[in-house]
Structure 1
Amino acid sequence: MPCLAAVLALMMPRFLIAILWFFTGWFRGMFDTVLWPLLGFFFLPTTLLWYSAVQHWFGGEWTLWSGLGIVIALMIDLSPAKGRRRKAE
């Protein structure tokens, strides 16, 4: 089951965020306002998932591995390869 969640997170992060938001308590108590999860949902979904994973699994402690994970998540979210791919001629 964790492998399925990891595959869903990479393929459809917004779908996984919606499932976690509506069917679990994964995001409860993590943010003071609803603004940050909404901004994360629309602009940086993979980064939002990794941030929430660090809060749960690492106890909110930012170490080398959790910092490296957030950098990778940001690179995935900000990658220009998502929308602009060259068409083969």
Structure 2
Amino acid sequence: MGAIAGIVLTLGLFVFIFWPEKNIFFQADKTRIDYLRERKDVIYDNLRDLNFEYLAGKYPEQDYAEQRASLEDEAAQVLAEMEALEQRGMGARGRA
């Protein structure tokens, strides 16, 4: 009886995992604001990593300052574009 239950469970899991979607070519459309939100998150992660590595002694102060300034400039540009798009009403569709 236990072997039959194991087989049924295995088949059920196999079907659940590999059952095809109704439309395998469907992909959610990303808006510009969605892309910018993802880019902002990546920039913030890079800033955190840069700070950690600098504190760990992996970067000289000059390199750290240059990379930090570059990332902060990029973040400012992304945030400015996000704000401009949201003011035009383009961000409402992409909000979760």
Q: What TM-score, normalized by structure 1, do the two folds share?
A: 0.34
Q: What TM-score, normalized by structure 2, do the two folds share?
A: 0.32
Structure having the larger proportion of residues in helix: 2
Higher RCO (CA 8 Å, separation ≥ 6 residues): 2
Bigger Rg over Cα: 2
